Structure 1
């Protein structure tokens, strides 16, 4: 099934809209009925505000999100804007065709090449030429046009056409007026004035109108002929002119639509200017203003042509002449004249009665409000039926599909009542003729045409003998019928009623139009309320005084207050007392200035909590600039506001943390531009300023001979390019006398835009310490050898201690002996004292060594950080390992507790393990020799140190023997390093062991109890 969406710019009551809609439906509906039509009305003339259009587009998006549309037909200028700007996004799969697009209203947007259709063209030049042709004595042109955007769109085109006649005609500008002002000025037009009427959808005060209604009223008060430019206005009192045929536009658009549905791409648009404009005139208006049909342009269409008196009574006059000629009887002639006079008088009386009836009913119904029509209609229908001699008078309205005729009112005092709805197919011939705009009447059922046999049966079932059906039009479209029925034959039909039936049709047709207008307005208001209630914001409206006149469902549910209580300024009772005065003052100022506003205040929710809301309002203006109040919406922003404040606090905190970082720290974006820096960076003359290109600064420094600039740029490019997660380099600045060393570290800036964090730390002291460490390297090696000898001395300590004790005893005995001998050499006694003291000191050294191996030495122990010890050792060995191309990686554990021990001895152990690991990889077939050091805290309350190499490793059987004295795998080694290391670790209450690593290499493990787990012995 083919699905078609018809989108109309204006109300469905607009005659032009109805005409185009009927033509398109008739042309696209196939005999099998496999086309489904959807219809939407934008009501742009009555609701031109942008928020209403936005809400309408959103409503259509939701309404048709699950519908598959094959074709979208946009009718009218506002609908063309919708088709060009909104429809491609709403209905991407549908082909788009437009009708009655106005070029002057499409200048501010581009119509896509895929959108084809029929343009609307008003031929002002042709009508001005026509006016001068038919009224050569005319002195002025009165130009009548409304204030709606559609009305104003043609103002400039008329003035361009009028410029050619400015020296011959005076222009009376009747645009941008209120309706009352228009009538007043039109009634006072001077002689020799011709009125040119375009359209009138809205007056200066913003009130909406239907152009046909305005023209009918204007025709009654203006003392001048009125020419029109639309075929729908010819029936409304205008003389006619070079008019746009909306029926032709509908047919042309339907042809384009059929081509679009049957081809891969739409066919080109037809030429609207040539195919949709024609000369059309109302014969009644021509007679009223004395214009001869012979003076009209060739090919003019004349509607409502009535027979002249001579044409109606030609046979009477001819018969009378023939009778006089043939009979030459003066008496007969007198009788004929008397009878003709009597008939004329009777007809005149009937004409007066009908005209008086039409005038009184028209006055009554036109002065009633829409709400009062239901009470006035029965009386008007009853007067019509009784005065015209019928038993029933009914007002019918056809539905959009022309399947039923709804009985709006039916008065039948002496006849059976009609049902609420009449099926059209029950009276197919009658209603078909009425739908075509034909007057249907017969004085009795015997005069019903043979083609209407089914209608005859239906009328017989209701007892109807005589019948009159008068089409009721809205523009050129038949929307209903006025039916008059009698239960008896009426031989006088057709008669005077036939001549005045159209006047009755205009009066009662206006009733249907007014009812439809009122219904459409209510439907539009209901759609607005529906859209407002479905919107995810709290919508409100205010009048020109600032008092709120409307709140949607979301507002009332949020506050849990009755609508009546919120109206006016009652809504401010829910505003927080601290915000109320500020809120009212801001609203007053914005209302006085007619400006948009955005206001934040606290509003009490139904649970009593005050919530922050953002309330935005925009002024509402009519098409000519009249202020009508405000429309706005409020949203709960409590969570957004809290998140924003948290973000500001987080940003401030990050800024303080960033500013307190040690060293020169800066953040750069993905292109290398400096976007943030701490105070140390900005205050240093060595660093580029904030906002500069760091990579460009490095290139400039390299060109000036700075040797470290290129290394800095390379490190930054490596991280920015994603080639490394961390890059660093060291460089020197200054002369040899006052040189300063810096270490640059680059790490990724983890954010969606990318970037890097650059840190420059002054390592001059560290560099000098490293140099000092290298100078002390030999001393450290010497300490290792001494420690190795100490391990040997531990096994000999007991044997050495006894001879030392004997030496002390003998030295003391010799000293006592010499003291008793007179004349003893003092130098000898001094030598004996020195021998005793040296022996005691040697014994003390041996006892401390023995205590070390008994794990009872505590004098030099204190809490130390394992990570700090390892950092210091790595700093000592880095310079020695770099020439060997051996790298050291350290993975320190976080939050490690201190251990209780001797820092020097623990450094000696770690140093020994790193030196052993590096020497094991030298000469081995290892592409990237690396020593990995890792620390971590175990669940047993100990700190574990792991030193891993990627060398050849050792045999599984040798894992325990490598800790024994004099066991070594190095040709020049003594085999004492690991033995001493194990002794030191065991003295600290820990253990050391080795594990072969899969794939080659050796991992050394050390476990030392934490401080709280260690109890010094």
Structure 2
């Protein structure tokens, strides 16, 4: 049967390519070197289409052949395509012009293989072989052995035969409509259409006797539609092709089919799978994708110098599930292995994966949630352990600070204690007199009380440094208060080492939420380090400045600057690392602990060198109240 069909979805092309990948690779690996024997250039393949580029049949087959050739040769092939347009220009004069044109066009680029898509293209290249491709191998596809025998093809012209058996399409229709009484066969007025009608009369001569058979031909498209609208309900309709109607109007067969099927009052069947989606219930056909792959295989063997022989491309039944539903036809009546398109999946088929997926997701989520809960508990335990270790480190650091300041604290404590003793002795002496002055005694007692409070405050601050706790004491307080407290503790040590200490505090409250003792420890760590850094500086130049201020709208900033030797630039990024120290007797934990404390309360700490010499340490903390 001659080669022609309307366009359809490329799903079959993709499936066919996947199915033939293994064969394709084998052909290429075996034939690649032989194909390369075309010395000095890539092999040339001419794809010869019988009609114009709009015709789906040759376009689908040609595209699949092209893709397979490119893939099998890794692109090492020159591909040419020609469209003879013989459906609209069947005249001999046009054929002669095309032959002369192509002979001249390819005079310097003679093809090594010509792939003829369909009977008309095969006849054309065989008749004009010497002029266009005298040394080329010719392979073809798209028609059967009976048609080939009528062409009297040379022995070296080899094809992929396909039988478009309209009797098998009627077989499918009968299986679906066993009680049908009428048979209508539709064909157009083009030469190709008439060839189809002639074949149908021959192929259906026996089977059509079981029906009241009518051939609808030689009509205009509107007449086809009118007749289709009046088909009896118990009719089977076979739509062949309409390339042209009786008025000479040209069509793509699929478009003509869609026009007729839209008004038809009975189910329509056709011999091309490209009719699926255009209104046919189904049919029997060789797919054009498989034709393209098969003829490309012959071309590859020819390029590789292998012997090639004719092959048969198998047929398949196909059906459209939507049309089955439209006409109330049973899917179970279809022949085995029918390719069913547009089938609505069952509830399980449609949502089974989703249900399984949902169950899997829920189960997975359950596992994840369980894991997260376990991890959360572990994290809380780890955080508690970390906080405990931090508190222990802070306490150790506080004890070390208290030890380092012990001499200064003792000296500062001796002052009020000594004053108390002196005042007490003076009071005793006055009382031993004959007329003690009670006003003086009262003043002495006031001095003793003030000195006692002063000593008590010193001891209270020392107890704060030495107190060990198992939890953070969260409080909201003014950062300036902690600065004042730290200055009181540092006063004696700074005086001992002749360091002038001053504070530049913000004029407003700077509320933060943290542990007072912890922030005090940060300030003491930074300040004592600053005091130690100034031991080599001249006495007059030893200055320690504590400064507090707002940092933006949501943070407070504390800076502690000195006039010491500064920090080497290559050490600025490592001074907060644990065990890093520049002191001969230092532990290297003070600054590391300071950073841990500041970060615990959502802050950040860093160090820089001052422009005028010395270092400055800064840390920021979130404001407890937005400004």
Please report the TM-score for the alignment, with normalisation by the length of structure 1: 0.30
Higher relative contact order (CA 8 A, sep 6+): 2
Please report the TM-score for the alignment, with normalisation by the length of structure 2: 0.48
